[in-house]
Structure 1
Amino acid sequence: MSQFSTPLATTPGIMLVRVGQAGCALRWDAQAACWRWPDPQGGQLYAWPAQDSMPSGVRLLESAGLIACCRSGRVLLGLGKRLGSVELPAAGQSGRPLQAQVLATIDAAEARTVISDGRTDRQGNFVFGTANTGADQRPIGSFYQYSTRHGLRRLALPVVVAARSIAFSVDGARMYFADATRGDIMQCAYDAERAKVSDVRTFASVPAPAPERGAAVVDGAGMLWSVQGGALARYDADGHPRQRIELVREPVASMAFGGPDLRQLLLLGARGGLYGLPAGVAEELAPGVADTPFDDGPAAVVDSQRPHHGD
């Protein structure tokens, strides 16, 4: 039985634009006032400022599956087993393919794992998880926090096959996370300064057979939006399902709040389409919560291959 056993209206999305071959992670860049997303198949990083313009793309030398906007204006990238950052070319410049500066190598001794999901916490640290890409599908994926102040620190959370649904409460004191295909959506108390977690427990039950879980985000009302089985599910603060949004042309890959006052919720499709919601649905939603840019300040950057647990 579906977890949405109570009658919930299914809301379709409205296609706004399509570029590239694949979509995986969508972010709103408040400094540049544009939406950004990588295309891991085409090796591009796209930016789209408004509906009356076309997206622009820059080529990356390495395919990226995750992005976060940085305080400096650079972009943080998840590149397989590495975190890196790139400086974007100025508007109008025809740039060469961008080479990322490597910030950290993740779990270098384990060839099967890659970075699978992540976002900044409310203090500007990047929190992410890894996935086992091997045929054995053993739970060897972990969760980490990366910052220029402390380097790479492993979070004391259960191991997973593939880390997904990483998000933070409005006040930043709770973290949400999940295994892609196993178990429920979980939550825990989160101390950003110490990279410390506690009180790990279920947030929302996902009945078997569990749909594959993807990206997640929390809105200004404390509700969690989670990609599940190619659709977007909305949960209230108590973990009860409230709404489901599906795309007709392709599965949902990611979502982000952005635009003026963070009132727009856009959906990124798995094949590169970008979608909005019908006006009647969009007007009923709470606004989003601004992502805190990754703090890439002057602290020393270390290629951290041996993470330690939070204090």
Structure 2
Amino acid sequence: MNVATAVASTPGILLVRVGQAGCALRWDAERQCWRWPDPIGSQLYAWPAPPAMPSGLRLQERACAIACCSSGRLLLGLGKRLGLLDLPPPGQPSRPLQAQVLLTIDAAEPRTSISDGCADRHGNFVFGTANTATDQRPIGSFYQYSQRHGLRRLALPAVVKAASIAFSPDGRQLYFADATRGDLMRCDYDAERGKVSNTKTFTELAGPGAGAAIVDSVGNVWSVQDGVLVQYERDGRLLQRIALAREAAASVAFGGDGMRQLLVLGAQGGLYGLPPDLARGLAPGVEDGLFIDSGSASTGRAHA
């Protein structure tokens, strides 16, 4: 069990506030901006806004998971479906954007919906589902999807709501959690075979409410728990807990020059940087893998 550590409360450096909610935050290295969907307002936001592009784009459907693609498109988790989104050319008038649907997940089970996901280090998208019904039975699952192998269910425990999906810097270990109960877990991950093994507890969670997770370049894990950002060493030792004074944290992502800027997305749509006293000395992050979509060659960054 982790020893209790005081929570450092910070107002954060508010960079922008848009929309009604925050969920998944990702760094788009090609366009040099952070991106996140607002699942309540059906919007897709970017900061800083790319040249001649609006900061917000309207979507025809709600999105709650996002990954950048090797073609420059975006992969979105849209309820029970995965879809590819072409971003409009700069300066084009804004209109609701329709994603190209790739597949429907667990079509025979109306209670489940995609809840979290990210690209692995080899061009696949790893994601999980949640039970959206009131019974809250653990019927959510974890999957790997690629256009080479299709959809493969990962042999991980069933959950009420899949969360905290992240990868070690070398891509050989997968982190995951049930947002409603239990621990932050870690397992060995074979991307090519779509296999997992050696599943064990990485650390106990402070309580229900696990959200996004990322891993930095030295293997430290950053986990959102009950609206607080928690940092662990690679062995599971608790390092620090950071709370935003204005709103609960929803997601976190490294980006910027050298992947040295850590931003926190608030649950009510605020995007925050850490003040210098908290940001000083942090290890840089690791670029997200790129989902390899059809018609695009795999890149070195997708396999890094």
Would you say 1:26 and 2:25 are equivalent positions?
A: yes
Q: CA deviation at 1:40?
A: 1.2
Would you say 1:217 and 2:221 are equivalent positions?
A: no
| Distance in structure 2 (CA, Å) of the matches to 1:152 and 1:183 | 26
Query: Counterpart in 2 of 1:233?
Result: 230
Q: CA deviation at 1:8?
A: 5.9
Query: Counterpart in 1 of 2:263?
Result: 266
Query: Counterpart in 1 of 2:88?
Result: 89
Contact 1:175 1:188 in 2 (8 A): yes
Cα gap change, 1:8 to 1:62, in 2 (>3 Å): closer
Deviation string for 1:228-278 (max 9, x for gaps)?
A: 001110010011111111111111010100000000000000110000001
- Structure 1: 5+ residue stretches without partners: 300-311
Contact 2:260 2:283 in 1 (8 A): yes
RMSD, aligned CA: 1.9
| Distance in structure 2 (CA, Å) of the matches to 1:206 and 1:268 | 20
| Distance in structure 2 (CA, Å) of the matches to 1:240 and 1:272 | 30
Query: Counterpart in 1 of 2:280?
Result: 283
Q: CA deviation at 1:180?
A: 0.6
Cα gap change, 1:53 to 1:225, in 2 (>3 Å): farther
| Distance in structure 2 (CA, Å) of the matches to 1:296 and 1:126 | 10
Query: Counterpart in 1 of 2:244?
Result: 247
Query: Counterpart in 1 of 2:173?
Result: 174
SS in 2 for 1:227: strand
Contact 2:2 2:237 in 1 (8 A): no
Deviation string for 1:148-193 (max 9, x for gaps)?
A: 1011100000101110111000100100001112111111000000
| Distance in structure 2 (CA, Å) of the matches to 1:73 and 1:139 | 35
Query: Counterpart in 1 of 2:57?
Result: 58
| Distance in structure 2 (CA, Å) of the matches to 1:45 and 1:4 | 39
SS in 2 for 1:158: coil
Question: Superposed, which structure 2 residues align to 1:1-311 within 5 Å?
Answer: 3=2, 5-7=4-6, 9-49=8-48, 56-206=55-205, 210-298=207-295
- Structure 2: 5+ residue stretches without partners: 297-304
Contact 1:10 1:243 in 2 (8 A): no
| Distance in structure 2 (CA, Å) of the matches to 1:12 and 1:288 | 22
SS in 2 for 1:157: coil
Query: Counterpart in 2 of 1:307?
Result: none
TM-score in terms of structure 2 length? 0.93
SS in 1 for 2:185: strand
| Distance in structure 2 (CA, Å) of the matches to 1:140 and 1:9 | 36
SS in 2 for 1:184: strand
Residues paired across the two proteins, number: 296
Q: CA deviation at 1:298?
A: 2.7
Q: Which amino acid aligns with 1:80?
A: G
Contact 2:9 2:245 in 1 (8 A): no
Q: CA deviation at 1:80?
A: 0.4
Q: CA deviation at 1:219?
A: 0.4
Cα gap change, 1:194 to 1:293, in 2 (>3 Å): same
Deviation string for 1:195-237 (max 9, x for gaps)?
A: 0000011100235xx2310010000110010000011100100
Deviation string for 1:102-133 (max 9, x for gaps)?
A: 01110000000000111111111100000001
Q: Percent of aligned positions with the same letter in both sequences? A: 68
Deviation string for 1:278-310 (max 9, x for gaps)?
A: 1122121100000011111338xxxxxxxxxxx
Greater mean deviation of Cα atoms: 91-100 or 119-128: 91-100
